[in-house]
């Protein structure tokens, strides 16, 4: 039976893992290569790097991080952040990423989804959607970019369907209202998207406890759950999350019981 995936996400800035709220007060939190390796050893089903480096020059550090991670981390690796065109896409894959997530650039260049999935296959194209509540939108949610700061006037559901049609292999769905709050995923938004597209939907934004992960799978139909801070701060481990999911009837991949 297919397991529901638990994905560990790391924010990477100039080649180092960082922690901070809303990209402010960033604190160095170690070496992403070591952390990815550790997460994969203790049972993360996938690793996700989000590159929040500001300049193109500093992005070079990311390629090095990816290629080192790929040498010793044998679970799928998704990389996102600052992917503007097909060349960025190719560079990340060549460095050793298995999937690339595209966000703002897909909004400003909708052709990028089609171009990249035609070229590299839809299995490696992850459409990252940041949505925020807006009652004036047909679905009630609007797409935002630049970490939620810019509005686009695009309807979230329409955009998700369009992304699927253009060749995205899965959707990484973040509710901007919930992100960083640790109060739980946005169930309404997740259900809306998951029920209306045929590709897998990864729930992101708001995970504060294993209970939240169970809820978004059982009540909103997420195919996978992604979390960052709850793992980094050691509040919960991959194992405690998986155990809680399993105890609530969700099939998960076994992970090391000792960790």
Partner 1 sequence: MNLAIIDYGSGNLRSVENAFKNSVKNNNLNFTIQVTNKLDLISKADHFVLPGVGSFPDCKKGLDDIEGLVELLRTEVINKRKKFLGICVGMQLMVDFSLEKKRTKGFCWLEGHFKKIKTKGLDYLGRKYKIPHMGWNNLQIDYNNHPVLENISENEQFYFVHSYALDCRQTNQIIANTNYSHKIPAIIGKENYIGVQFHPEKSGNSGQKFIYNWLKWSP
Just list the catalytic residues.
11, 130
Two tokens, residue 53: 């480096």
Q: To the nearest whole angstrom, how small is the minimum distance from the Cβ of residue 167 to partner 1?
A: 10
Q: To the nearest whole angstrom, how small is the minimum distance from the Cβ of residue 14 to partner 1?
A: 23
Q: Which of residues 76, 81, 184, 205 is near partner 1 by CB under 8 A?
A: 76
| Region near partner 1 per CB under 8 A, out of 51-59, 137-145, 181-189, 246-254 | 246-254
Q: How far apart are CA 101 and CA 119, in angstroms?
A: 15
Q: Per-residue contact track with partner 1, 189 to 208, x per CB under 8 A?
A: -----xx--xxxx-------
Q: Which of residues 29, 93, 128, 203 is near partner 1 by CB under 8 A?
A: 93
Cα separation values, 72 from 12, 45, 96, 210, 230, Å: 18, 15, 11, 28, 24
34: contact with partner 1 by CB under 8 A: no
| Region near partner 1 per CB under 8 A, out of 51-59, 132-140, 182-190, 248-256 | 248-256
30: contact with partner 1 by CB under 8 A: no
Q: Per-residue contact track with partner 1, 115 to 134, x per CB under 8 A?
A: -----xxxxx----------
How many C-beta atoms lie closer than 10 Å to residue 55's C-beta?
A: 9
Q: Which of residues 22, 64, 72, 85 is near partner 1 by CB under 8 A?
A: 72
Q: Facing residues of 47 across strands?
A: 8, 77
Please, which residue, 158 or 253, has the CB nearer to partner 1? 253
143-172 residues in contact with partner 1 (CB under 8 A) are 169-170
H or E stretch at 241: helix 238-247
94: contact with partner 1 by CB under 8 A: yes
**Number of alpha carbons in the 13 Å side-chain half-sphere of residue 205:** 21
Q: How far apart are CA 116 and CA 114, in angstroms?
A: 6
Q: To the nearest whole angstrom, how small is the minimum distance from the Cβ of residue 250 to partner 1?
A: 7
The residue among 171, 159, 113, 99 whose CA lies nearest residue 134 is: 159
Which SS3 state, helix, strand or coil, does residue 138 take?
coil
The residue among 247, 240, 80 whose CA lies nearest residue 255 is: 240
237: contact with partner 1 by CB under 8 A: no
For 26, phi then psi, to 5°, come to -65, 135
Q: How far apart are CA 224 and CA 109, in angstroms?
A: 27
Number of chain residues interacting with partner 1 (CB under 8 A): 42
Quick one: CA dihedral 208, 13, 153, 200, positive or negative? negative
Q: To the nearest whole angstrom, how small is the minimum distance from the Cβ of residue 3 to partner 1?
A: 4
The residues that touch partner 1, with contacts defined as CB under 8 A, are 1-5, 40, 45, 67, 70-72, 74-76, 93-96, 98, 120-124, 169-170, 194-195, 198-201, 217-218, 221, 223-224, 249-251, 253-254
């Amino acid at each position: 039976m297919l397991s529901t995936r638990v994905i560990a996400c790391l924010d990477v800035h100039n080649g180092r893992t960082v922690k901070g709220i809303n990209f402010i007060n960033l604190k160095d939190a170690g070496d992403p290569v070591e952390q990815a390796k550790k997460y994969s050893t203790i049972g993360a089903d996938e690793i996700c790097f989000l590159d929040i480096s500001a300049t193109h020059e500093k992005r070079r550090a990311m390629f090095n991080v990816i290629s080192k991670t790929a040498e010793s981390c044998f679970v799928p690796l998704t990389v996102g952040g600052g992917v503007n065109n097909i060349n960025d896409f190719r560079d990340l894959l060549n460095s050793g990423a298995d999937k690339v997530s595209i966000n703002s650039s897909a909004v400003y260049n909708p052709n990028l989804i089609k171009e990249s999935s035609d070229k590299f296959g839809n299995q490696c194209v992850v459409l990252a959607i940041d949505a925020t509540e807006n009652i004036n939108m047909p679905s009630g949610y609007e797409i935002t970019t630049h970490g939620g700061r810019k509005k686009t006037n695009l309807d979230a559901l329409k955009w998700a369907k369009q992304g699927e049609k253009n060749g995205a292999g899965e959707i990484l769905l973040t509710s901007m209202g919930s992100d960083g709050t640790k109060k739980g995923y946005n169930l309404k938004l997740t259900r809306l998207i998951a029920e209306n597209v045929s590709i897998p939907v990864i729930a992101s934004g708001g995970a504060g406890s294993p209970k939240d992960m169970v809820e978004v799978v059982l009540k909103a139909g997420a195919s996978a759950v992604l979390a960052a801070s709850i793992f980094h701060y050691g509040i919960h481990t991959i194992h405690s999350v998986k155990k809680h999911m399993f105890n609530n009837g969700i099939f998960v991949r076994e992970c090391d019981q000792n960790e």
